């Protein structure tokens, strides 16, 4: 039989099978040639154009032969705060090639990747089965010469470290087992109280969630119970539960850690959610940049499946994405899970009413679902007793960037930002004063020192034009080039835009060009006005939050430069 056919066959008839098949071809052959495209089209009954459309959407796919070696170097904010740019330049010099340049005759390629979830230990890189952390420009020679020490993605055991002292004093509701248990030991998980409540009536679970005040931890902070109640009330026979594990935000890694260290917690959360809303099929949409989490989840699902008394009411499949930040947006994720280009869908209809394959679908982030077992066990009211106001419960903040101690800090909402950095982070790594803090991922605001006393609640952050997002906190010292950060924000949007809506498709590129002009020729009144108009259009006219929120880091990062320009002008004008 045709070798390509053999690779593809297991995925025919699977949800999103076309993407999984293309991933398998990439894994096997290193690239996707015309024959592979035709074979996928034939097997999945798609047109050739559609398959090419899919292939060209995801950055993991390539349509030319691969180099002998491919090193992916993280370019996202947290790694940037720790010297990723210097590392990249050193690598380019050492190898004599340019980042992201494709050379068909070359033996080595350097490819940018936006976040491997190793933010607390950046700069990070990835080659083959090995992940590298804590790199600096002096490691360039070793990395190119294959003598650098990394760790294997196959290493799926328990974290062999006691949580350091500076990470103590947390309220770990979600991360309580992290580092204390073998992640794949299902017996131990059950003995510790896991999967004991799987036969609760749907109404009870719904009520506890309602009382907990749990809000979606993916970024939007939308009250979970509204989604749950909506899906539960839909009369459809087929309903889906989808776990959004496409943790693409730079500076965030809580999903990765919980999936690697306590995968059954996620499965239990999904089982309870599925039970509550009446779904019998669940999917975990995991980003491809988390190879170790994939291995662990796959094994965990298989062990859990082998225990029908735990898993009989829900089937869970693991789906691996193919390199697209936008697929962390729930409608784009659903498109991708259906095996298509990850274009944003207009809402309405809401996924809770018409989601995966047009059926009612509960889509939640990993942390949201991982909060569920504790809530159901201890009661929604207990959960709501943590936090402040409408920001109930705990949030695993992820501290990274230019800090001495990065990591997970799970605490109730409400601690001021400065307190969090001081108590847990131990100041900057460089020893210089903090210059800016980006809260909430690449689309989060750059907060300047005057805002550091803001309490970490949804409401307080919103009041200063910022957001908690997925809880990523990236620290920069006072050497930060904020104009460059603004340019990088547009660049990120341009790279990751799905291309559907005009403000994002064209606006991000024009924005980056405009910032480059400012970097080159300086700021001017016309440029400020154009930038402001562009930000308005993106913010208010974009189809989704990628285009809609890109102005947040841009505007916040440019505030000092614009203020300086305006005060200069005022001085001159006088």
Partner 1 sequence: MRLADHDLGTPKGGGERVSLVINGQRVEAQSGDSILRAALEADIPIPKLCSTDSLEAFGSCRMCLVEVDGRKNPVSSCTEPVSEGLVVRTETQDLAQLRRGVMELYISDHPLDCLTCSANGDCELQDVAGQVGLREVRYQAVSSHTQEAKDESNPYFTYDPSKCIVCSRCVRACEDIQGTFALTIEGRGFQSRVKTGADQFFDSDCVSCGACVQACPTATLMENTVIEQGVPDRSVLTTCAYCGVGCSFKAEVKGDQVVRMVPHKDGLANEGHSCVKGRFAWGYAQHQDRITEPMVRESVNEPWRTVSWDTAIDFAAQRLKTVRERYGPQSIGGITSSRCTNEEVWVVQKMIRAAFGNNNVDTCARVCHSPTGYGLKQTFGTSAGTQHFESVSQADVILVIGANPTDAHPVFAARMKKRLRAGASLIVVDPRRIDLVRSPHVEAAHHLALTPGTNVAMMNAFAHVVVTEGLVDEAFVRARCDIPSFKEWLLFASSPTNAPEAIATQVGVDAETIRAAAREYARADRAAIYYGLGVTEHSQGSSMVMAMANLAMATGNIGRAGVGVNPLRGQNNVQGSCDMGSFPHELSGYRSITDDAVRALFDDDWGVTLHHEPGFRIPNMLDAACDGLFKGIYIQGEDIAQSDPNTQHVESALSQMDCVIVQDLFLNETAKFAHVFLPGTSFLEKDGTFTNAERRINRVRPVMAPKTGMAEWEVTQALSTALGYPMAYQSASEIMTEVARLTPTFSGVSFELLDEVGSVQWPCNSDAPNGTPVMHEHEFVRGKGMFILTEYQPTEERANRKFPLLLTTGRMLSQYNVGAQTRRTENIRWLEEDVLEIHEADAETRGIQSGDWVAIRSRMGEISLRAKVSDAVAEGVVYTTFHHPMTGTNVITTDLSDWATNCPEYKVTAVEVTPANHRSPWQQRFAERHSEQIELLPSD
Binding residues vs partner 1 (CB under 8 A):
41, 45-53, 56-57, 324, 326, 341, 346-348, 494-510, 513-514, 516-517, 526, 530, 533-534, 536-537, 540-543
Nearer to partner 1, 425 or 553 (CB): 553
Nearer to partner 1, 9 or 171 (CB): 9
For residue 118, the minimal CB distance to partner 1 (Å) is 25
Nearer to partner 1, 59 or 378 (CB): 59
Nearer to partner 1, 51 or 125 (CB): 51
User: Tokens representing 310?
Assistant: 């735990």
User: Tokens representing 85?
Assistant: 């740019």
Nearer to partner 1, 52 or 432 (CB): 52
For residue 68, the minimal CB distance to partner 1 (Å) is 27
Is the distance from CB of 97 to CB of 107 less than 8 angstroms? no
Nearer to partner 1, 221 or 393 (CB): 221
Alpha-carbon gap, residue 413 to 215, rounded angstroms: 12
Nearer to partner 1, 190 or 541 (CB): 541
For residue 466, the minimal CB distance to partner 1 (Å) is 17
For residue 447, the minimal CB distance to partner 1 (Å) is 23
For residue 561, the minimal CB distance to partner 1 (Å) is 19
For residue 97, the minimal CB distance to partner 1 (Å) is 22
Bridge-based pairing of strands 281-286 and 240-245 is parallel
Nearer to partner 1, 49 or 306 (CB): 49
Q: Which has the closest alpha carbon to 276: 268, 264, 288, 284?
A: 268
User: Tokens representing 490?
Assistant: 């547009």
Determine how many CB atoms are found less than 10 A away from the CB of residue 46. 18
For residue 387, the minimal CB distance to partner 1 (Å) is 24
Nearer to partner 1, 102 or 516 (CB): 516
For residue 236, the minimal CB distance to partner 1 (Å) is 15
Nearer to partner 1, 201 or 522 (CB): 522
For residue 485, the minimal CB distance to partner 1 (Å) is 20
Alpha-carbon gap, residue 555 to 407, rounded angstroms: 28
Buried/exposed 508-529: b ≥16 CB within 10 Å, e otherwise: bbbbbebbeebeeeebeeebbe
User: Tokens representing 464?
Assistant: 């200063």
For residue 497, the minimal CB distance to partner 1 (Å) is 4
Q: Which has the closest alpha carbon to 393: 208, 206, 181, 162?
A: 208
* Paired residues of 410 in beta bridges: 396
For residue 438, the minimal CB distance to partner 1 (Å) is 22
Determine how many CB atoms are found less than 10 A away from the CB of residue 465. 12
Q: Sheet with 69-74: list strands edge to edge.
A: 108-113, 69-74, 125-127, 130-132, 151-152
* Paired residues of 412 in beta bridges: 394
Contacts of 378 (CB under 8 A, 6+ apart): none
Nearer to partner 1, 43 or 361 (CB): 43
Alpha-carbon gap, residue 404 to 430, rounded angstroms: 8
User: Tokens representing 60?
Assistant: 């993991």
Alpha-carbon gap, residue 255 to 522, rounded angstroms: 40
For residue 539, the minimal CB distance to partner 1 (Å) is 8
For residue 99, the minimal CB distance to partner 1 (Å) is 18
Nearer to partner 1, 284 or 501 (CB): 501
The 3-class SS string of 323-372 reads: CCHHHHCHHHHHHHHCCCCCCCCCCCCCCCCCCHHHCCEEEEEHHHHHHH
Contacts of 394 (CB under 8 A, 6+ apart): 171, 172, 173, 174, 386, 387, 410, 411, 412, 413
Nearer to partner 1, 268 or 330 (CB): 330
User: Tokens representing 567?
Assistant: 């005060």
φ and ψ at residue 367, rounded to 5 degrees = -65, -35
Cis, bond preceding 483 (omega within 30 deg of 0): no
Is the distance from CB of 251 to CB of 443 less than 8 angstroms? no
């Amino acid at each position: 039989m045709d070798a390509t056919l053999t690779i593809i066959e297991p995925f025919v008839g699977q949800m999103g099978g076309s993407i999984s098949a293309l991933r398998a071809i990439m894994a096997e052959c290193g690239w996707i040639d015309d024959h592979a495209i035709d074979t996928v089209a034939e097997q999945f009954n798609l047109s050739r154009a559609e398959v090419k459309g899919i292939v060209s959407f995801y950055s993991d796919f390539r349509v030319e032969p691969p180099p002998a070696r491919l090193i992916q170097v993280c370019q996202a904010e947290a790694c940037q705060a720790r010297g990723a740019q210097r590392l990249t330049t050193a690598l380019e010099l050492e190898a004599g090639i340019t980042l992201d340049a494709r050379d068909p005759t070359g033996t080595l390629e350097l490819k940018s990747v936006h976040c491997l979830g190793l933010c607390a230990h950046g700069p990070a890189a990835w080659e083959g089965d090995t992940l590298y952390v804590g790199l600096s420009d002096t490691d360039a020679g070793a990395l190119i010469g294959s003598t650098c020490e990394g760790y294997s993605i196959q290493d799926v055991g328990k974290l062999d470290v006691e949580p350091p002292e500076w990470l103590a004093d947390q309220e770990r509701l979600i991360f309580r087992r992290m580092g204390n248990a073998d992640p794949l030991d299902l017996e131990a998980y059950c003995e510790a109280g896991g999967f004991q409540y799987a036969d609760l009536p749907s109404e009870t679970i719904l009520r506890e969630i309602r009382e907990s005040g749990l809000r979606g931890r993916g970024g939007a902070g939308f009250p979970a119970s509204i989604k749950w109640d909506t899906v539960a009330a839909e009369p459809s026979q087929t309903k889906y539960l989808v776990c959004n594990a496409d943790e693409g935000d730079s500076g965030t890694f809580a999903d990765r850690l919980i999936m690697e260290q306590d995968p059954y917690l996620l499965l239990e959360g999904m089982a309870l959610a599925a039970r509550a809303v009446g779904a019998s099929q669940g999917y975990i949409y995991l980003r491809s940049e988390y190879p170790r989490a994939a291995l662990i989840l796959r094994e965990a699902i298989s062990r859990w499946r082998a225990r029908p008394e735990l898993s009989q009411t829900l089937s869970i499949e693991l789906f691996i994405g193919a390199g697209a930040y936008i697929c962390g947006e729930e409608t784009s994720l659903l498109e991708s899970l259906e095996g298509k280009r990850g274009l944003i869908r207009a809402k309405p209809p809401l996924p809770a009413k018409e989601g995966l394959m047009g059926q009612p679908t509960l889509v939640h982030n990993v942390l949201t679902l991982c909060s569920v077992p504790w809530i159901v066990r201890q009661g929604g009211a207990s959960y709501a007793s943590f936090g402040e106001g409408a920001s109930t419960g705990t949030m695993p903040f992820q501290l990274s960037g230019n800090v001495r101690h990065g990591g997970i800090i799970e605490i109730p909402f409400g601690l001021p930002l400065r307190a969090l950095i001081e108590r847990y982070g131990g100041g900057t790594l460089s020893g210089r004063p903090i210059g800016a803090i980006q809260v909430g991922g690449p689309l989060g605001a750059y907060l300047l020192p005057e805002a550091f006393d803001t309490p970490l609640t949804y409401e307080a952050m919103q009041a200063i034009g910022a957001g908690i997002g997925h809880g990523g906190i990236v620290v920069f010292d006072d050497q930060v080039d904020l104009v460059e950060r603004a340019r990088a924000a547009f660049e990120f949007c341009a790279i990751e835009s799905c291309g559907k809506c005009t403000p994002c498709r064209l606006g991000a590129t024009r924005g980056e060009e405009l910032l480059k002009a400012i970097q080159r020729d300086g700021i001017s009144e016309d440029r400020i006005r154009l930038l402001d108009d562009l930000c308005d259009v993106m913010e208010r006219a974009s189809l989704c939050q990628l285009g809609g929120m890109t102005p947040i880091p841009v505007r916040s990062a440019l505030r000092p430069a614009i203020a300086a320009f305006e005060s200069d002008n005022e001085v001159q004008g006088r």
